[in-house]
Amino acid sequence: MKKLLSVVSAVLFTLGGQVLAQSNTVIVNADQGELTISEHIYGQFSEHLGRGIYEGIWVGPDAEIPNQDGYRTDVLNALKELEIPNIRWPGGCFADEYNWRDGIGPRADRPKRINTHWGGVVEDNSFGTHEFLRFAELIGAEPYISANVGSGSPAEMNNWIEYMTYGGDSELANLRRENGRDEPWKIKFFGIGNESWGCGGTMTADFYANQYRLFQTFAKNYSDNRLFKIASGSNDVEYDWTETLMREAAQEMDAISLHYYTIPGQGWSDKGPSTDFGEEMYYRGIKAGLLLDEFITRHKTVMDRYDPGKNVVLALDEWGIWTNPLEGTNPGFLEQQNSIRDALIAALSLDIMNSHADRVKLANIAQTVNVLQAMVLTDGSKMLLTPTYHVFNMYKVHHNATLLPGYANIERYTTDWDKPVVSRFDLKLDEPGIPVISHTVSMDEDGKIHLTVSNLHPNDTQEVTFEIRGATVNKILQGSAKLLTGNSVDAINTFDNPEQVKPKAFRDAEFKNGKLTLKIPKHSLVVIGLE
């Protein structure tokens, strides 16, 4: 039996049977919005991994590829368009072997190190602190620095903070000046360790809680800089880690991280291909993406016991789809293609995070260029925008907007492939089917309402009606309606055909008597505004 569910956002759905397009309905209460969707949910992540930094962002000032002081001009321009609020660096696993002093001073004098985590390649440190922080300035993003807890020391970390942020007369501040930067940088987001349960030190929760308390004590605020301290949280179902950190160190943190990678295949040993995968792997990818709501909900429940005032942010600072590496590439470089399926997983994940805006206020998709679910792919002088890039561009309408709650009645699509997504996850999503519609509705500071709506059905057009209550809206905002789709669930952009998947005008929308009706093609995303 179908039933109407009250939801905070668009990602809680009714249980349905056969897909009947006319039964997809959403009532939006535009006068009841209380939560703000933080722009920082739309952050990026660039690690020293594969071709993410080198060849992706940085080619050096002497490169033949057009560049601005060593930064690829095409990549810079593309990333500026996304209005990226924050970007995380230098890792990831790389962070807990990184000594910041390796990346300062004349580039020719910087030491070469082995990147033991990602392919065993030589890291020449030509992209260091100054290069990263200038990059963040060029794209208009706040830097998110990950400190070395695994192999570093509190003193090393503290010196780095002083080097970057102190405006007075000290040895380290003057060293920064000698290296070309007079004024201190503003550093807000500061991660104390990364995946400390794994590549960041294989620590127990109790041990890391003590390490966090120690290190954060020496994460000092210099001049007028104020750090937002982020503890290394758990991944997916490791709720005990969150419990321990909240119990032992909640008063000393501003945020705790959570990592979740969507794996469409059988698990870590076989994540599934990123190309030519067909409908079953599409379905399993979407279903795996839905698990994010379960993980956030349960980690929030733990956090609420220790922090009912919601002062500690849940930071999803690594997320995205992870597939097998592309054939012929270094497996340590984590290069994969990016399809319309991946774009819809990104949209679904953003909808889920938006719906948890009471706790989730910071997130970083992995990663920005050439690695995992990248925004941009490069090949020599060539560059293309991925379908996921277009999702982030379409979702800019939600940056710092008010999340509008409502009621949703959404059908589910079922297949013979219903089985546990990954064997270790015995969760509610073992129920049949996936919702055919996912969405976010928000209102900006000018009172305009924006909707991003995905049709997750792989084969059928879906009709969905939004009834807007509690606000006077008269028409569709001119030029706002855009559609992102592909000719198949595994449609991709290639360097030979870089615009196969890109937004185009959407015309199957009608607004009448306070109701917006959309007819959305299969496996597609729509953004539309009302005024």
Q: Which amino acid is at 479?
A: G
Asked whether the CA dihedral 423, 429, 430, 433 is positive or negative, the reply is: negative
- Pairing of β 24-29 and β 462-469: parallel
384, β-bridge pairs: 377
- Report the distance separating Cα 139 and Cα 2, nearest Å: 47
Active-site option among 123, 162, 318, 411: 318
- Pairing of β 113-114 and β 122-123: antiparallel
- Report the distance separating Cα 235 and Cα 163, nearest Å: 32
Residue 183 annotated among the catalytic residues of the structure: no
- Report the distance separating Cα 284 and Cα 281, nearest Å: 5
**C-beta of residue 172 within 8 angstroms of C-beta of residue 211:** no
Q: Could you please report the per-residue DSSP string of 30-67? A: TT---EE--GGGGEEE--SSTTSSBTTTB--TT-SS-E
Q: Is cis: bond before 373, omega within 30 of 0?
A: no
Q: Could you please report the per-residue DSSP string of 203-271? A: --HHHHHHHHHHHHHT----TT---EEEEEEEETT-HHHHHHHHHHHGGG-SEEEEEEEE--SSBTTB-
List the alpha helices (DSSP H) in 18-170: 73-81, 129-139, 154-165
Q: Is cis: bond before 90, omega within 30 of 0?
A: yes
Residue 195 annotated among the catalytic residues of the structure: yes
Active-site option among 131, 195, 335, 411: 195
Q: Is cis: bond before 92, omega within 30 of 0?
A: yes
Look up residue 86 and give its two tokens: 């924050």
Look up residue 393 and give its two tokens: 């561009």
Q: Which amino acid is at 355?
A: S
Active site residues: 195, 318
